[in-house]
Amino acid sequence: MSLLEVRDLTMQFGGLTAVERFGLTLNEGDIVGLIGPNGAGKTTVFNCLTGMYRPTSGEICLFSKRIDGLHPHEITQLGMARTFQNIRLFKDLTVFDNIRIAFHYQINYSLACAVLRLPGFTSEERLILGKTDELLKIFDLYDQRNEIASNLPYGEQRKLEIARALAANPRVLLLDEPAAGMNPHETEELTKLIQWVKDRFQLTVFLIEHDMRLVMGLCQRILVLDYGITIAEGTPHEIQNNRAVVEAYLGEEAL
């Protein structure tokens, strides 16, 4: 069954077409990469998928439900979470609180229940506490749980952001340049982590990445975007040998 189905997605800003007739099918357990030169419209695709932008035209279906036009929080609640290219943690909050906040929409007690401190409040808070700590341990962040998020090293912040996205309980995870600013060693660790997280949480992953080693090593399928148009789609092997891609994008790196 396809979890995410995108058809003819087009996004225009004024007269500028950032993404044109983008199509994508994500099946359960897929891990698909989106690559392309800077300004190709990759993040715009993400922003349309997650409801941050309202697409000019096209259709986006998540679990066979139309989601274009929904608010970002509604899409997250349906089961698709994301990270951001330029890390958007709650910088001044602790590592612990960063994760705990992402459990928010899974909480059932009402405002009145919180004000009156009814039993439902206490039991659910305890539950969230446990889940948060569990996630922190999985991501090896437990020792830094009381640290302010912005004090973490860069790589750990990326990790925390992924952990936070997972706390929102997604089935589809979108990662926007998870390896940006990482050294080769860190990237390698991250590649393993993504693979491991995907298996552990039975996720379907769609990621934007510049780092070719990560994309080629991780993705089953890759889409290449150039000036908003999908110029190629295929396995890493096919993409590496695709003339148009080499010219548009890899060409720069090959030279």
Partner 1 sequence: MVELTQEIIQQLVNGISLGSIYALIALGYTMVYGIIKLINFAHGDIYMIGAFTGFFAITILNLPFLPALFVAMVVAALLGVIIERLAYRPLRNSTRIAALITAIGVSFLIQNIALLAWKPDPRAFPDVFPFRSYQVWGIYLDNRQLVILGVALLLMVILHYVVHYTRIGRAMRAVALDDEAARLMGIDVDRVISITFAIGSALAAAAGVLVGIYYNRIDPMMGVMPGLKAFVAAVLGGIGVIPGAMLGGLVMGVAEVMVVAILESTWKDAVAFAILIIILLVKPAGLLGRQTREKV
Partner 2 sequence: MRGEMAVRRFGPYRQTLAWVVAVLAAVGLLAVNVGVYNGMIDFYLTGVLVIAWINIILAVSLNLINGFTGQFSLGHAGFMAVGAYVSGLLTILLNWPFPVVLIIAGLISALIGLFIGLPTLRLRGDYLAIATLGFGEIVRVILLNLKITGGPRGLGGIAPKTTFFSAEIVALITIIIITNIVRSSHGRALVAIREDEMAAEAMGINTTRYKVMAFSIGAAFAGIAGALFAHHQMFIDPRSFTFQRSIEILVIVVLGGLGSITGSIVAAIVLTILPEALRGMAQYRMVVYSLLLIGLMLIRPQGLFGTKELQDFLGYGITKALPKGSARQVASNNGGGDR
- Specify the residue for token string 């932008």: 53
Our finding on whether 43 is near partner 1 (CB under 8 A) is: yes
Work out which of 10, 56, 59, 84 binds partner 1, going by CB under 8 A. Answer: 84
Binding partner at 43 among partner 1, partner 2, none, C-beta below 5 to 8 Å by kind: partner 1
Distances (CA, A) of 134 to 95, 97, 130, 142, 210: 13, 13, 6, 8, 31
Distances (CA, A) of 233 to 34, 69, 223, 236: 9, 27, 4, 9
* Pairing of the two strands 221-226 and 229-234: antiparallel
**Beta carbon nearer to partner 1, 49 or 219:** 49
Burial class (CB in 10 A: 0-12, 13-18, 19+), 121: middle
Work out which of 17, 27, 56, 77 binds partner 2, going by CB under 8 A. Answer: 77
Here the tokens at position 51 are 């409801």
**Beta carbon nearer to partner 1, 18 or 214:** 18
Which of 5-13, 35-43, 159-167, 217-225 is the region at the interface with partner 2 (rule: CB under 8 A)? 159-167
Q: State the nearest-atom distance from the C-beta of 47 to partner 1, in Å.
A: 5
* Contacts of residue 196, Cβ cutoff 8 Å, sequence gap at least 6: none
Q: State the nearest-atom distance from the C-beta of 176 to partner 2, in Å.
A: 11
* Pairing of the two strands 57-62 and 2-13: antiparallel
Closest C-alpha among 24, 29, 2, 14 to residue 219: 29
Size of the site for partner 2 (CB under 8 A): 45
Binding partner at 229 among partner 2, partner 1, none, C-beta below 5 to 8 Å by kind: none
Name the site residues for partner 2 (rule: CB under 8 A). Answer: 50, 52, 71-73, 76-77, 81-82, 84, 88-94, 96-97, 100-105, 107, 109, 111, 114-117, 121, 124-126, 128-129, 133, 146, 148, 164-165, 167-168
